[in-house]
């Protein structure tokens, strides 16, 4: 398994190349899924008004392409302005079922330095209680880099 620092360096390189690679966000989703086998679905949602709109993702298609911020675990991450880790999605009443295979989820807001939320990284796992403190640290660092790059990019992407 590749260490967090190496993954972060790759994310930084992909973000830096965003002007020449229009699919850089999907490439980052692929990188995360490839390097962490328990990341079964990796997606990025963008905040548009009071809804989260699904952007690039890897994994099975999701029925949740638009999520109001007052619903679900994804909405909770925006409302709380913080990472939300759910060890057992079936025990959390906020969970919006996407797949019967999903057992746990982590959602990390993409927040600019001035506190503006641009979207979030959403990751589902088929493993119960899949996400560790190392996963949280990695994904929060990835989110920080994505938010920085998106804030600099015209139209965000």
Q: What confidence tens digit (pLDDT) does each residue in 127-146 have?
A: 999 999 999 999 999 999 99
pTM summary value: 0.94
For residue 9, what pLDDT is reported? 97
Where in the sequence is the domain holding 56, given as residue range(s)?
Answer: 4-152
Report the 10 Å Cβ neighbour count for 22. Answer: 9
In a domain, 157, yes or no: no
Low-confidence stretches of the chain (pLDDT < 70) are 154-157
State the CATH number of the domain containing residue 52.
Answer: 3.30.450.40
What is the pLDDT at residue 154?
59
pLDDT for res 157? 54
Number of domains the chain is built from: 1
What is the spatial distance between Cα 117 and Cα 135, in angstroms, rounded to a whole number?
21
Nearest-angstrom CA–CA distance, 37 and 5: 17
At 17 the pLDDT is: 92
What pLDDT was estimated at residue 70?
96
Whole-number Å distance between alpha carbons of 40 and 47: 23
Angstrom distances, CA of residue 109 to CA of 37, 73, 75: 22, 11, 10
What DSSP designation does 90 have? G
């Amino acid at each position: 398994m590749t260490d967090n620092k190496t993954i972060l360096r790759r994310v930084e390189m992909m973000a830096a190349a965003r002007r020449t690679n229009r699919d850089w966000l999907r490439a980052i989703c692929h990188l995360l899924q490839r390097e962490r086998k328990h990341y079964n679905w990796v997606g990025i949602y963008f905040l548009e008004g009071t809804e989260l709109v699904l952007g690039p993702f890897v994994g099975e298609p999701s029925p949740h392409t638009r999520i109001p911020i007052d619903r679900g675990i994804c909405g909770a991450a925006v409302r709380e302005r913080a990472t939300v880790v759910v060890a057992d999605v079936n025990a959390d009443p906020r969970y919006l079922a996407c797949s019967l295979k999903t057992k746990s989820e982590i959602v990390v807001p993409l927040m600019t330095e001035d506190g503006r939320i641009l979207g979030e990284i959403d990751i589902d796992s088929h493993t119960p209680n899949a996400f560790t403190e190392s996963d949280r640290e990695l994904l929060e660092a990835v989110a920080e880099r994505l938010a920085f790059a998106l804030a600099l990019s015209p139209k965000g992407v």
